[in-house]
Structure 1
């Protein structure tokens, strides 16, 4: 079982080896002591330190071949017919043979022969266009590797990965023959041209299959199969030359398959009308693909098909495909395309860390290449004392797995559980503990189905049941993808589960103790304080009885709050109305009560805070103003409770004052997650409370 990073290393290594192979093939192409170019309709040969020669023919001393500028074509498949293409390859084969036998001459416009001598080709002979095409293809393949290796094996993912493979195939093949030093063996030219066509057709088919399967799967598997069947038919027609021209056998097929793929984008657009997340991701995909392909189609394929203009440089146009892959990479970050998570940043950080080590090696290699014993001594000292320890530290940090002991995972799991339970009483903290201990790249949960801890997908996934939460946690790629899960992780996960049960038992024991203590205090308050308040009510005068009744009601509310029981909003409104009506009657104030309630349940704390806000507002209206009318309006529609208390008899100077009661009501409103404001108009004073209601049905 290989870890995620190991598989990524293997994939990137294969991409790098392929790149080195292409470079080796390009270096081994034949070269000569003359540089060939085109001027109008003439073929020119430039000897070293001499004026250019107008070439009219090539010769081996016994036979001649006419010098035609079409031999310099960057991409031969733009020729009108397959016969022209075969003649192109045949002439190149003949010239490469003569050059290899040291028997090649060029005939100038005066009939004079000039010897063409073979030369070895080095890296410095490879032009910038070669490196541009090769690096763009390799970069696209690297992006596809980083998407495909960790993702789920789905049709869309596989098709996207195949586009990267086909992109590097056709771009690298073209990089070799489009930047040749004029001469190339015919069979190699034919093979590279076929590889270019193979990659281009496969790219178009895979892109079409991807568009039909992302973000929704195609309505039938035969649609996906049809794209690859069309690819197989097209490559057979092209390579067997069953038609007259490359336009019919290659370019038309590439364009037709691509257009069929775009129909998939239209189908996806229609199917994602009610899915904004899919629609947003699809929009990003389509823009990336169109941006990456439209320039190549308009600059290369269409001119070749219509034969109306000279095609643009194929090497430059190949770079536009990289825009598509860059767009896809950005889409992964912005819209989480292909269900990839933020760990993509971790992979790129890891990759850049490896590149830093490679660059450090190159810099030191350059230092060692300098001459002189002093420089060599300093270089060895620098490597031994600074470079090797630094590289070892980076290597250990970036690549080596960290096997945690009991102290390590305990110090990570326990604080995570306790912190979550401190903030939210309803969560156990299991998710945060598993994140801290195993550091998976991705984590998800599903309903509890199995009671045992198990490893799946060859070590990529660890399933951990959580009986307390009735769910199973699935962890993917341990330690940010550095290793696979093993038996030690099963044991560690079992310890985390046991710790979670222990923490929850301690939390429940604490809650039980607090509840019992609260009940004891409630009984004492009810028996002692309640009895004394009732005695005081019977002995009070008519003027003080309302105050005693309010104290008794406050005690009842406090005791009810200590019970911790919920209450329906309708029952709460009835209690509020009875209390407010009694208080208004005691003060000779007219009450207008207007309510519109929904089937909602208030928690004990919500009921307590709302009761105190309403009571404080009514107290202000009855005691601090010459109130003759009190209007209370309560509306609990659309998940929000809005309470308005309005009274008259307030002077302007009193309205401008803001006392302690206002601050208390504002604080209580904020505690409930709502807002509280006050306003005045003429001699009327209005308080407005607005709080959100939880979606609890009575």
Structure 2
């Protein structure tokens, strides 16, 4: 059985490209291989065109007899052929069947080959005339001449072209990046090309093939099939890291088959089919065991392809075996089933290296070839097992085939290759969350993008590498995806080129390959993430410029007016009040204009501001500051803490009439804890009606991502506790 899995490429090295352009000697080798392949096809066509043949419209009778249609009203039954002066050679409908490889009964195959060889010998004699003997002893002479190119038949050139395409495709794949394991794919491709050439040779018009063409059909083609499945087993062994001695056993079946074919000790067709089916099941089992031991998307997809090919071959084998009989129609359909089977395998070979890419024509051709194989096989089975008429069996088989095509197409697109796409809502949700986190922590761009890729594609492994392509691309035939990391900040040095990259291996936890759609989605996600961060940075720059403008206006306009009022104050108390208001305005404008506030500097300003406020009210301040690291504050954090502190101290003075206020500020890791306690008259905070002041405190604390609570401070006063669990991450 020429099973489908190609010799897979080795796991891609991180950051390295898995494709190399064909230059230099590779191009020369490719041109040479193409020229040799074309010369071989035309040499075969010229050889067949020069071969003498017996033309006419030949059909098979109900009893297995051979008929030649003379005209619309006359048909000649032929029981023997001869050349002038030679003894007649008996013939029958076996002359119409030219594939000894798919002849089940050994005795029938031997008689089939003998008739073809005898006819080829008679056609090769000079004279140009062949005598046809009827059952009544009447002899009819028919002219014999070279077949010519017109006698090759309509199927010869497409089949020969497909064989050439498979051969050149394997050569290109081998030259793109030469590796020993790609020799296995080359072996399978050459075996299938050989089978296609045999089918093209056996599909010529009329009667008569070159001497010896069919004598070696079964040994050669069965050897090609067994070698192809042995290469498939070897490929799965390399892919799943199974013991190498199994490959030696698989290849050992090839000489074992030759030995059995030479002795004729066993039914050769059954022996060949058993070897192919056994090797195919072996390949699937090796892939299944390897997948259970270690998830591998490439091995899983190839195992599914091999399983589909094995089931199809098993159906073809059962159909041909069940239909093996004297009926002429069953033999014709059996030949069609075997031909469609080889077309199916050839299409799978062409499709396998492009599983991760959009090759819709190849996928549809493979599906159609596989369904056609199933339909012809079911037609044979229905006619043989249920004794249905030719029309009834064909109608039922076609009906089943159409349903099978629809179901198989959906299954292939969703499971075999894994082209199911992510929902827009899910993608946007992950992207939005990553953008918000990246805005807060720009330096964590690789980690955040790696997590985003995990959430989107669920790979088995994500690795940060140094060398990646400019855009996302597939590696290892879709087993890995390289994603470039563009800097989050457009102003970063070298922002036009990726600094690092990610290599994701085996999507959906090893259940599918990466596809071109995945690569495009990854590029879009990376670009949108970069744009989101750039937009946020632009908005923040605009906010900073607006804050500076407002601070400058307050300083130049309101500050100047307050200063004039202070000089014109009528009393000492009014002058002090305006001076304190000017100091508050100075603190506010400095905070608005500053692009960055260090926690230590802000704490010093808060302490000085609160000390001044409490001293005016003839109250004292207790200040406790404990931080494990100094860090910059954003404008939002600085503004929120400044207003919270002022509001809490103002409430303690004007509502609680406190004489002492204790302020404790602690920062341990990412957790910020602020506590303001007083000795005022306030009690029972649960019964307070929260107005604008306390409501503003809650709103600002919530903006920081924290929580606030009020409680009684022992026997006298109130204590307010603010806790922000994710205020800052350790540097």
What's the secondary structure of 1:243's corresponding residue? Answer: coil
Distance, in Å, in 2 between the alignment partners of 1:692 and 1:572 is 15
Structure 1 Cα separation of the partners of residues 593 and 60 of structure 2: 98
- Structure 1 unaligned segments of length 5 or more: list them: 336-422, 446-468, 472-535, 589-596, 670-674, 677-686
Q: Distance in 2 between matches of 1:38 and 1:641?
A: 95
Structure 2 vs 1, CA of residues 617 and 580 (structure 1 numbering), >3 Å: closer, same or farther? farther
Aligned to 1:54, the other structure's residue is in SS state strand
Partner of 2:349: 325
Give the corresponding residue for 2:77.
Answer: 54
CA contact (8 A) 2:119 2:208 kept: yes
Cα 1:585–1:169 change in 2 (3 A) is: farther
1:282 aligned partner: 299
In structure 2, how many angstroms separate the alpha carbons of the residues matched to 1:45 and 1:166?
Answer: 36
Establish whether residue 206 from structure 1 lines up as the match of residue 231 from structure 2. yes
Query: By how many angstroms is 1:557 displaced?
Result: 11
Pairwise CA distance, 1:328: 1.1
Distance 1:316 1:301 in 2: 15
TM-score if structure 2 supplies the norm length? 0.50
2:257 to 226, 231, 234: 234
Residue of structure 1 equivalent to 2:90? 66
Q: What's the counterpart of residue 108 of structure 1?
A: 134
* Aligned-partner SS, 1:190: coil
Residue 75 of structure 1 is matched in structure 2 by 99
Correspondence for 2:267 among 245, 256, 274: 245
**Change in 2 beyond 3 A, CA 1:9/1:305:** farther
Query: Normalization by structure 1: what TM-score?
Result: 0.52
How far did 1:435 drift?
Answer: 7.7
CA distance in 2, matches of 1:256, 1:192: 22
Distance apart, 1:212 and its partner CA: 2.5
Query: What is the distance in 1 between the residues matched to 2:601 and 2:180?
Result: 56
Matched, 1:260 2:282: yes
Q: Which residue matches 1:526?
A: none
* Counterpart in the other structure of 1:173: 198
The residue aligned with 2:216 is: 191
* SS of equivalent residue, structure 1 residue 187: coil
SS at match of 2:74: coil
User: Considering only CA atoms, is the larger Rg found in Structure 1 or Structure 2?
Assistant: 2
Q: Distance in 2 between matches of 1:180 and 1:692?
A: 85
The answer as to whether partners of 2:194 and 2:224 remain within 8 angstroms in 1 is: yes
Task: Name the CA distance, whole Å, in 2 between partners of 1:23 and 1:584.
Answer: 106
Conserved 8 A contact 1:208-1:261? yes
Using the alignment, how far apart are the partners of 2:673 and 2:157 within structure 1? Answer: 69
**Counterparts of 1:636 and 1:117 in 2: how far apart (Å)?**
105
Corresponding residue for residue 87 of structure 1 = 111
CA shift, 1:194, in A, is 3.5
Alpha-carbon distance, 1:164 to partner: 0.9
Residue 245 of structure 1, CA deviation: 1.9
Q: Does 1:295 align with 2:317?
A: no
**1:38 equivalent in structure 2:** 60
Q: Size of the alignment, in residue pairs? A: 469
CA contact (8 A) 2:98 2:214 kept: no
| Alpha-carbon distance change, 59 to 202 in structure 1, aligned in 2, over 3 angstroms | same
Matches within 5 A, 1:111-130: 111-130=137-156
Structure 1 residue 159 corresponds to structure 2 residue 159:
no
Partner SS, residue 155 of structure 2 = helix
Is 2:272 the partner of 1:272?
no
Measured in 2, the distance between the counterparts of 1:123 and 1:642 equals 93
Shift of 1:79: 3.2
* 1:37 Cα deviation after fit: 2.0
Contact 2:67 2:75 (C-alpha < 8 Å) held by counterparts = yes
Q: Which SS does the other structure have where 2:357 is aligned?
A: helix
1:294-313 equivalences under 5 Å are: 294-300=311-317, 303-304=320-321, 307=324, 311=334, 313=336
Could you give the per-residue CA deviations for residues 454-491 of structure 1, whole angstroms, max 9, x where no partner exists? xxxxxxxxxxxxxxx999xxxxxxxxxxxxxxxxxxxx
Whole-angstrom distance in 2 between the partners of 1:331 and 1:260 = 23
Aligned to 1:376: none
> Is the partner of 2:24 in helix, strand or coil?
coil
CA contact (8 A) 2:48 2:210 kept: no
Cα distance in 1 for partners of 2:190, 2:631 equals 60
Aligned-partner SS, 2:68: strand
Deviation at 1:580, TM superposition (A): 13
1:222-274 per-position Cα deviation (integer Å, ceiling 9, x unaligned): 12222222223223423x1442322344222122111111111212321233x
Contact 1:143–1:329, Cα closer than 8 Å, also in 2: no
Structure 1 SS opposite 2:209: coil
In the aligned structure 1, how far is the partner of 2:188 from the partner of 2:665? Answer: 65
User: 1 CA distance for matches of 2:643 and 2:291?
Assistant: 55
The equivalent residue for 1:372 is: none
Offset at 1:545? Answer: 5.5
Superposition deviation, residue 117 in structure 1: 2.0
How do 1:386-535 and structure 2 match up within 5 A? none
Q: Offset at 1:688?
A: 13
What is the correspondence of 1:685-696 to structure 2 with a 5 Å cutoff? none
Point out which structure has higher relative CO (alpha carbons under 8 A, 6+ apart): 2
Quick check: 1:145 aligned with 2:171? yes
Summarize the Cα distance change of 1:39–1:230 in structure 2 as closer, same or farther, 3 Å threshold: same
Structure 2: tracts of 5 or more residues without a match: 1-22, 360-441, 447-465, 483-497, 501-562, 564-572, 618-626, 657-663, 675-687, 707-721
Please state how far the C-alpha of 1:195 moved relative to its aligned partner.
Answer: 3.1
